Each structure stands twice: as C-alpha cells, then as structure tokens.
Structure 1
Amino acid sequence: MKVYSSNFLEVDYHADHGWLCLRCFGKLESKEFRESLEKALEFAEENQVKQWLLDFREIGSLDENEDAWLQSYLFPKIMMRLGTSNYIAIVLSEKCYEVLLKEAGKFGLKSYNSFIIINTFYNLDEASRWLKKHRINKAS
C-alpha cells in the first residue's frame, strides 16, 4: 500500500510483513525527505506499525543535517508516539556501510534500547530477514 510517493522516494506499507518501507531513488530534497518520514510516522501511529525498513542504498549517505534530523526529531517522535519495541533496519550502499563500519565498529551500527532497536545493513535481504525475525504481532 502506497503511503507517500514522489520522483525521488516512496513509502509503502507491506501488510504481509507488517512494516513500512521507505526507498530512495536519488539525491534527496531535505524538505521532501522529512515530509515523507513524517507521513510514514502518521501512518505508523494510526496503524501501530512498529517496524521500518529505510532503504538508502541509492543516495549514498545522508548528509549531516538529515542524519541529525533523524536522531533529534524522527526517532524521538517514534518513541513518544509508538512506545517501546520499534525495529528500524537501515540499508546503506556497501561503500557507505564499510566507511561507517571502520568509524564505528560493528556494534556502533546498532542501537538497542527499549524504544528503538536499530540495525544497519548493506544487503536488503539481510535487513528483511532481521525484521522478519523480530516481527511484532499487533494486539487484538
């Protein structure tokens, strides 16, 4: 199900997996990037979606402003609006992944707290398997 779409990115809800997927196709506009993630958050809140797949392979790496926005705005909003046990798989290009791996080490590419569990990948299939392993069933 399409949540948001533009020339540069799309956000889909994959009901069969129970997660939101944001996929970038090229160089992002800051306003569009933020707007798409805010729309995704609104959808996640309305539907209690607690798993996200952020596919950034095509854009290389996020610039510092967008990374800071994720850390200081989006992730805290996810925590406030969706509570605990939110899983976010971030998929980067292999080149970006290798750079981050050298800078932060393998454990630096993961974040674990009771609200958001983040893991970083360069392989989309591995990211999907990780999310499937941590699938969250909605309360009825």
Structure 2
Amino acid sequence: MALFSTAYLEITYDADRHVLVAKWLRGVMPFELHRGYHALLEAAVEHDCRFWLLDVRRRAGIDSADILWTLNDFLPLVQPRLKRTTYLAFLMLPHHLAGDLSDGRVPDSAYYDNRPYRNERFTDAEPALEWLQHCQKHETVAR
C-alpha cells in the first residue's frame, strides 16, 4: 500500500525489511522534487524508519540545482526529525551512476562520513537492500 502516490513518485514501506522505498516515476520539476522529499521525510517519521531505498532510475539526469537543494536544504532537516543517522541507498541506471561518479558537482561517499546521513549508489536493488540491512545490523550491534 502506497503511503504517498502521485504521477511522479510512489512511497511505500517494507515492514519486513524496515525500509522506505521511494520510486521516482519520471523526471520532476523542482516543486515536485521538494514535495516528494518532504513526503518521504514525513513517512520516515511516521514509521520511525531511517533506511531508505530511492529508485531514481526513471529520472533522466539530475539537475545541479536539485543536488544542491537536497544537500543544503533537505538533508539537514532529516536528523532533527529522525534523531539518528539516516541511510539512503540510491538505485540508478548504470550510465547515470557513471555520470554521477564523474560529475564534480556530486559528492563522493566520503562527503557523508561526518554527517548524520549516509549515501551509497547502486545499479541493482539487491545489493542496495543488502547494504541497508547491513547498516541496520551494524546499528543494532553498536547500541
């Protein structure tokens, strides 16, 4: 059952894995991106879920303004609401991932080291879900 559903985004909660799944259905306008990410945060608060699978495979190319908004405006809102580290697994098409890795505007994984959120990029859902489950287990052991 979708927690949020529009023509551009569907958010579901996988209770068995304790993962929020946000599936972008097409490219979006900035206001849609903002609305979608805020809906994701509200769903995360509602389900006390800090493990997110963000499927961006249908979003062709991501604008640098979107990246800056996500990094500078949205992500700083997450930790005060969820209180602990949030893990974001981005599911991407291989050529988008390759472009991301070569684009100087997109921070590499080390950027997230001292922040209250972690970000990894994947081209297949299974390794993405395995990473999220590993993060869950690591947090359980660390407590």
TM-score over 0.5 for the pair: yes
Q: Distance in 2 between matches of 1:114 and 1:70?
A: 14
Equivalent residues, number: 135
Give unpaired runs (5+ residues) of structure 1.
none
Amino acid at match of 2:39: K
Give the conservation status (yes or no) of the 8 Å contact 1:100–1:109. Answer: no
Q: 1:87 is paired with a residue of what secondary structure?
A: strand
C-alpha distance 108-114 of structure 1, shift in aligned 2 (>3 A): closer
- Aligned structure 1 segments of 4 or more residues deviating by more than 3 angstroms: none
1:78 CA drift (Å): 0.6
1:114 CA drift (Å): 5.3
Partner of 1:93: 93
The percent of aligned pairs where both chains have the same amino acid is 23
Write the deviation string for residues 96-130 of structure 1: whole angstroms up to 9, x where unpaired: 111222346xx924522351111111222211111
C-alpha distance 129-92 of structure 1, shift in aligned 2 (>3 A): same
Partner of 2:7: 7
RMSD across aligned C-alpha pairs, in angstroms? 2.0
What does residue range 122-137 of structure 1 map to in structure 2 within 5 Å?
122-135=123-136
Write the deviation string for residues 14-62 of structure 1: whole angstroms up to 9, x where unpaired: 1111111111121213222211211121121233111111110111332
What does residue range 36-115 of structure 1 map to in structure 2 within 5 Å?
36-103=36-103, 108-109=108-109, 111-113=112-114, 115=116
Q: TM-score, normalised by structure 1?
A: 0.84
Q: Distance in 2 between matches of 1:9 and 1:46?
A: 18
C-alpha distance 62-102 of structure 1, shift in aligned 2 (>3 A): closer
Give unpaired runs (5+ residues) of structure 2.
none
